[in-house]
Homo-oligomer: A and B are copies of this chain.
């Protein structure tokens, strides 16, 4: 059915090997021969079969991107930047969404490996992720973005979460806040734990009391964020500021704070992390710490 390298070879009066060489810009091809081959290719409308090529080279020009939640704008913005970047290099990106579930990530790791992707970008790992660690140990090409492994050997790209969190907390402190609450993500995530560390450090540096009751921790979910915010607003005295470890949590908190009749920031200040697009919306105006998603993509 399809036009193969053989057809081109026959038409151009050369061997398939030569066609292949032209195709791959192999150095030593005679200009005349090359021309003949190119002519034959265009006349036949030849398109190389990538499956065959992948197989012969054991390379797919494909990377896997495993994210924890593509509907979180932070990750969809990241995904956009990564696919745009991949396009420049003629790579394609297989999108894998874990919903923050370990079994999904494990599934996708096996799946992608078996598919023969050239590498995997993870935006979904825990600090200790057995299967991902194995991958790194076996020198499988992978890179961790935003969330990283504890394992030193693993290449990662992420913002300085501790510094970012300190920025956020110091901002609140400068505004005069003392009773600052923190809603963290799961502590087995590098982002959450580093930000928590930053929170502690900033508070300590300014000599502020850290109260257990003002520190909440839970998985990333709207419902849990509602619940934790409610808990915070039920403590007495109520905190005057809340730092949420990402924007989605902050958005959920915002709803509860408003629901309870508090004004933001007059009664309770709120600050998030990620700077997702909607944060800038007039009705939201969430203060947040930016992450350079585009820059990251260019470095991956």
Contacts and interface: CB of A to CB of B under 8 A. Distances in A.
A94 B97 contact: no
A256 to B, nearest CB: 9
Nearest to A257: B282
23 contacts: A47-B114, A48-B114, A49-B114, A50-B114, A50-B116, A51-B51, A51-B60, A52-B55, A54-B55, A62-B94, A70-B76, A70-B80, A70-B83, A79-B95, A83-B96, A90-B111, A93-B94, A94-B94, A254-B281, A254-B282, A255-B283, A258-B283, A259-B282
Interface residues of A, number: 51
Given A71-B80, A94-B92, A251 B281 contact: yes
Contacts of A69: 80
Contacts of A155: none
Contact of A55 (B47, B51, B62, B278): B51
Q: Which of A65, A111, A259 has the most CB of B within 10 A?
A: A111
B70 A73 contact: no
A122 to B, nearest CB: 16
Interface string A256-283: 0011000000000000000001100111
A104 B83 CA distance: 12
Interface in A43-73: 47-52, 54-55, 58, 60-62, 65, 69-71, 73
A174 B97 CA distance: 42
A248 to B, nearest CB: 10
Interface of A: 47-52, 54-55, 58, 60-62, 65, 69-71, 73, 76-77, 79-80, 83-84, 87, 90, 92-97, 104, 107, 110-116, 251, 254-255, 258-259, 277-278, 281-284
Contacts of A80: 69-71, 97
Contacts of A48: 114
Contacts of A111: 90, 92
B83 A79 contact: no
Contacts of A58: 51
A68 B113 CA distance: 28
Given A73-B73, A79-B95, A93-B94, 5 more contacts: A50-B115, A52-B55, A54-B55, A62-B94, A73-B76
A289 to B, nearest CB: 19
A251 to B, nearest CB: 6
Nearest to A1: B58
A65 B65 CA distance: 14
Contacts of A92: 94, 96, 111-112, 115
A97 B84 contact: yes
Contacts of A77: 71
A90 B73 CA distance: 26
A283 B263 CA distance: 12
Contacts of A84: 97
